[in-house]
Structure 1
Amino acid sequence: MTTAIWMLAYGMPTDAVEEYVRIDESTIVESLKRFCRAIISIYEEEYLGLLTTADISKLLREEEKRGFPGMLGSLDCMHWSWKNCPAVWHGQYISHLIEGRAPPANYTINDHQYTMGYFLADGNYPHWETLVQTISQPQGLKRQLFATMQEAYRKDVERAFGVLQARFAIAHWPARFLSHEDLGYIMKTCIILHNMIIEDDHDDSVDDDYDAPEMATPIQVSREPTLRNDLIEHVWSRKGEQG
């Protein structure tokens, strides 16, 4: 287990670990694989599962205070270099958002009712109701304010990626394993351990509601940024109320 932690935390190559602990390289690799599989088998459901009803309620309350009712978080990606990665795999982890499916959430913005949560994203993503993009060249004070706030809140996920890579250097350096299955186990393990650390630091009270809500029924998503326009008005109105 010690060698596995070293490789995850410090990104040490197997030959360096072998020289330090005097263990055969194949044994080191097998130890890492078994450690990752064990962590995932025991903790994946708790620390890497879908958002629970309690999670969603908490997120909605927090984000409404920040001026973005209905928001569930920010969408971004972390690049982990792997020269053997097939292009067909790019973007596979956000397909449910692109298809217009997200956890249900009921809220009203600018007198319009919505029944599905959304995520903030940059301008590289398509215009779907599950994603609210920034405005690259905002014209007018309303749009400028919205773009400033949207981009500021999106930095949360960028900071999270930075902390993850700082804690687990193996995710910072180019991937050394040839099997995509092994890489998946490694990344999942890093995220699970990262989430465990966050939970321990926050020491939140335990909630017994572990049921994950069903994704909202797929709808015909609109390419028109209706939700974003409503948010622009909401953010501007909220600023006026706060003076």
Structure 2
Amino acid sequence: MRQLEYGTTPDAMDEYIKIGENGYFIQYLPKPIAEDIARLYSFHADKHGLPGMLGSIDCMHWEWKNCHVAWQGQYTRGDQKGPSVMLEAVASQDLWIGMHSLTIKNGTAPPSPVDVNGHHYERGYYLGDGIYPDWVMLVKAPHNPTDEMRKKFKRFQESARKDIERAFGVLQGRFAMLKTPARSLDFDKNRRHMYCCIVLHNMIQEDHGFSIGRKEEKMIRRNPPRRLYRNLRDRDAIVKEIRYRQIQNQLEADLTEHVWNLSPYFRTANNNE
């Protein structure tokens, strides 16, 4: 805690502190279960007026001071001053940070169907910005809307995406280590430091009662993730479905019409609750 809070070197504490491995990573960075997704759907629909929203996705850069010279080209982007470690994460309205993507990498995901404007979709979605591709599970704001309906949806989408910016700001505010350049020579150590900060951040959110979905062990055992595909042919079908532009355009059109039909006082009423 002293290293994370004040940014002191780990060598200064090696002699009197040792931390053993436990189940904190599994408990506070778990895969979502069906009950968690249902609560996220309900909470985000009430707060942001967006049905089927799982959270917002974005990236945060952590400057890497002691990056090896041979690696600097790999970890440097044009919009950054030097090498950095990039965290790509998802955050919900309660500032809970995690990797809650319904990924097809390992072929498992909980069932998460949702109805938007009378149309049925098999999965929820995340709010992203222009750096992300046009996939079904990534809903972005219109680039340059001209009609009032799309302008209203752009305001709602950008307002809801502030969740991830707030989460990153709170994370860096709690742990000064993430605001100072990383001094470790090993990328894996930097990764573990980042995960440690996220786990502690989620523990604080849960302790303060701000967690939308509590990951209880009995619920995880009762609702194991289902297989999305059994072979490569099924996997290719899932990939094709996620990248299908027609479904993505239909989802954005449904969300735009849904937001347009909301009461003009929707956001004012929710902010006063």
TM-score with structure 2 setting the length: 0.70
- Equivalent in the alignment of 2:202: 195
Amino acid at match of 2:45: E
1:106 aligned onto 2:113 = yes
The question of whether the paired residues in 2 share the 8 Å contact of 1:168 and 1:190 is answered with: yes
Percent pairwise identity: 38
Distance 1:27 1:124, change over 3 A: same
Amino acid at match of 1:223: R
- Equivalent in the alignment of 2:53: 71
How many residues are matched? 223
- Equivalent in the alignment of 2:164: 157
Structure 1 unpaired stretches of 5+? 15-24
After TM superposition, the structure 1 stretch with the greater mean CA deviation from structure 2, 98-107 or 72-81, is 98-107
User: Structure 2 matches for 1:29-178, cutoff 5 A?
Assistant: 35=19, 38=20, 41-65=22-46, 66-82=48-64, 84=67, 86-87=74-75, 103-178=110-185
Amino acid at match of 1:200: D
The question of whether the paired residues in 1 share the 8 Å contact of 2:112 and 2:123 is answered with: yes
- Equivalent in the alignment of 2:254: 230
User: What SS class does the counterpart of residue 161 from structure 2 fall into?
Assistant: helix
Cα distance in structure 2, aligned partners of 1:98 and 1:46: 19
| Structure 1 residue 197, shift from structure 2 partner | 0.6
| Structure 1 residue 7, shift from structure 2 partner | 1.3
Higher helix share: 1
Cα distance in structure 1, aligned partners of 2:265 and 2:254: 16
User: What SS class does the counterpart of residue 61 from structure 2 fall into?
Assistant: coil
The question of whether the paired residues in 2 share the 8 Å contact of 1:53 and 1:212 is answered with: no
Structure 2 unpaired stretches of 5+? 77-84, 90-98, 230-237, 267-273
- Equivalent in the alignment of 1:209: 219
Cα distance in structure 2, aligned partners of 1:122 and 1:30: 45
Amino acid at match of 1:231: L
| Structure 1 residue 98, shift from structure 2 partner | 8.2
Cα distance in structure 2, aligned partners of 1:219 and 1:126: 13
| Structure 1 residue 203, shift from structure 2 partner | 7.3
Query: C-alpha offsets along residues 30-79 of structure 1, whole Å, 9 cap, x if unaligned?
Result: 878x53xx3x6331110011112221111011122232111100001111
Distance 1:31 1:175, change over 3 A: farther
Distance 1:106 1:67, change over 3 A: same
The question of whether the paired residues in 1 share the 8 Å contact of 2:59 and 2:88 is answered with: no
CA RMSD of the aligned region, Å? 3.3
Higher strand share: 2
User: What SS class does the counterpart of residue 175 from structure 1 fall into?
Assistant: coil
Cα distance in structure 2, aligned partners of 1:203 and 1:98: 25
User: What SS class does the counterpart of residue 219 from structure 2 fall into?
Assistant: coil
Cα distance in structure 1, aligned partners of 2:16 and 2:52: 43
- Equivalent in the alignment of 1:11: 7
